[in-house]
């Protein structure tokens, strides 16, 4: 991935993977917690220019990758 002028740091990760991980984690919440986070999730999708349908399809097509990202998340920085 190429960085534009004035951009520094790591290239942007796959936004679909990030949204899929978020949705998978939010699905694990019970009852009202999902309802409370729904507007946050929708806002994140809007900011990324993604639809919930795209995220659902990504979850279907990349289940193992999403689960591995969730498992690996706790190991960052170790």
pLDDT tens for 12-22 read 689 999 999 99
Q: Which residues contact 58 (CB under 8 A, 6 or more apart)?
A: 16, 17, 19, 20, 66
Do 59 and 25 contact (CB within 8 A), yes or no?
no
| Residue tagged 């679909």 (tokens) | 16
pTM for this predicted structure: 0.71
* pLDDT surpassing 50 at residue 77: no
The CA distance from 33 to 76, in Å, is 26
Do 65 and 23 contact (CB within 8 A), yes or no?
no
* pLDDT surpassing 70 at residue 8: no
């Amino acid at each position: 991935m190429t960085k534009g002028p004035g951009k520094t740091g790591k290239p942007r990760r796959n936004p679909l993977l990030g949204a899929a991980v978020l949705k998978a984690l939010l699905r694990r919440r019970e009852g009202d917690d999902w309802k409370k986070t729904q507007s946050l999730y929708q806002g994140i999708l809007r900011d990324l220019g993604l639809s919930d349908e795209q995220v659902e399809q990504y979850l279907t097509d990349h289940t193992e990758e999403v689960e591995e990202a969730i498992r690996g998340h706790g190991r960052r920085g170790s």
